[in-house]
Amino acid sequence: MMLNKKIILPILTLGGIITATTAKAIPCAVCSIAVGASVGVARWLKVDDRITGIWVGALLVSLIAWTIHYLDKKNIRFKGRKILVVILWYGLTIIPLYFTGLMGHTANKFWGIDKLLFGIILGSIIFIAANLFHNYLKKQNNNKVYFPLQKAILPVGFLAIASLIIYLIIR
């Protein structure tokens, strides 16, 4: 039995996460790399924009968290810093996608919104929710994880499940 190439993406991503080591920053470095690699693989496999967008949105949240963490570490603080980082990362991603024609085409809509933008919004929400869920679980367990690599597996697992659900809906 041959697996559909669109289902392979989440499986490969989870495999990479499980075999990697954890990092202390939130979100973890492994998660960020896995999400970034997944976006590239998704485009190469011609995965639907809604699914690709899920991973792009997660990557953006990860990049935002890493940038804010870096600024904190370097003691770079000013009013509106966090919102500026959010606007810059989303702007630096969405504007080029729009001007290169990858986003904004009238025939590429889902529920009245661009498919890629829909995925980016959904992926951002899911990635944030997964990290909040990780923090909740950890707090419930005396600040300890329930299983190794929980911090990485939960966000990537949530994203993989969302990708699979969207795939099953649109196929």
Q: Are 64 and 124 in contact (CB under 8 A)?
A: no
Q: Each residue of 6-23: pLDDT tens digit?
A: 544 454 444 444 433 333
pLDDT at 92: 86
Please give the helix or strand (H or E) that residue 140 lies within, else none. helix 115-140
37 has a pLDDT exceeding 50: yes
CA angle 33, 39, 42 (to 5 degrees): 135
**How is 44-66 classified by DSSP, letter by letter?**
HTT--HHHHHHHHHHHHHHHHHH
Residue 76: DSSP 8-state = -
- Quick one: which of 90, 81, 88 has its CA closest to 59? 90
- Specify the pLDDT at position 98: 82
Residue 152 pLDDT: 87
Q: Report pLDDT digits (tens) over 72-93.
A: 999 999 999 999 999 999 988 8
**pLDDT attached to residue 14:** 44
Whether the per-residue pLDDT at 104 is higher than 80: the answer is no
The pLDDT of 102-111, averaged and rounded, is 81
Confidence band, pLDDT 50/70/90 cuts, at residue 132: very high
Helix (H) or strand (E) holding 113: strand 113-114
Instruction: Write down the pTM of the prediction.
Output: 0.74
Alpha-carbon span 74 to 55, nearest angstrom = 28
Residues 6+ apart with CB under 8 A from 44: none
Q: Is the dihedral of CA 112, 117, 123, 124 positive or negative?
A: negative
Cα separation, 12 vs 55, in Å, equals 13
Q: Of 103, 112, 122, 128, nearest to 43 (Cα)?
A: 103
